[in-house]
Amino acid sequence: MFRTVSFITLGIVIAAIGIVSAQGPGRGPGGGRGGMGPGGGGVELQKDPVAKDADEKKILDVLADMNRNQSKGMMNVSPADGRLLRMLVESTDAKKAVEIGCSNGYSGIWTCLGLRKTGGKLITHDIDEGRAALARENFKRAGVEGIVTLVMGDAHETVKNLEGPIDILFIDADKEGYGDYLKQLLPKIRPGGLILGHNTSMARGSDGMGGFIEAITTDPGLDTLFLNPGGQGMSLSIKKR
């Protein structure tokens, strides 16, 4: 029987809409600052995550260091988007997560924060050997290298070798390629599985993502909402049962 997306997950998603919208750019683990309380009374709503154990602290420390010292030129997700990935992975008990666009491993490590609790694995794809080498180093620093498989090459070709079912798909690569990734991988997403697309706000100024946006908003087999439309933007789609 397929695992269900629980009411807890729905609550997390609703809360995440506020979290992602409230957090300003460039701050995250080790950086502090988030949305303020109603009326601007000076009560800080968004705070850094608090580690539950030594292993989680190690991972969060690596993420904080990456956010401070490796973010330039990487086009990584925001810390709030990373926390959303972790929440969705852990709350849906995801066993198989697929990422298109590894970069330096920042979003992958957030994903692994959840996977280390679910017993799941991440398969991440990238075409740039320099970024991939940095990602491997960061996965090792965070202690998650054992649950990550990094696939090198053109993801439009390498994803053809992926087997389902996939619980969570996160796309953050060439924007004009989102539609093709979706077309190839949607049949491999399990019913109740999630599809996330990063930088959906870019669709306003470019037609590169137009096909992807059209697909996720008109396919009767998907239900889609958009998070943080004023920032980088993230689409969240569920494959209906």
SS3 (DSSP) at 235: strand
How far is residue 111's CA from residue 239's CA, in Å, rounded to a whole number?
Answer: 19
Query: In angstroms, rounded to a whole number, what is the distance separating the alpha carbons of residues 184 and 53?
Result: 39
d(C-alpha 119, C-alpha 107), whole Å: 18
Tens-place pLDDT, residues 108-154: 999 999 999 999 999 999 999 999 999 999 999 999 999 999 999 99
In the prediction, which pLDDT does 20 show? 45
37-80 confidence digits (pLDDT tens): 555 555 667 788 999 999 999 999 999 999 999 988 888 999 99
Residue 74 DSSP symbol:
T
pTM value > 0.75: yes
Q: Is the pLDDT of residue 232 over 90?
A: no
CATH for 7-239, options being 3.30.360.10, 3.40.190.10, 3.40.50.150, 2.102.10.10: 3.40.50.150
Residue 85 has pLDDT above 50, yes or no: yes
How many C-beta neighbours within 10 Å does residue 47 have? 9
Query: Strand, helix or coil at 168?
Result: strand
Using alpha carbons, select from 32, 12, 37, 31 the residue that is nearest to residue 114.
Answer: 12
201 pLDDT band, cuts 50/70/90, is: confident
DSSP line for 82-95? HHHHHHHHHHTT-S
Looking only at Cα atoms, what is the longest distance across the chain? 53
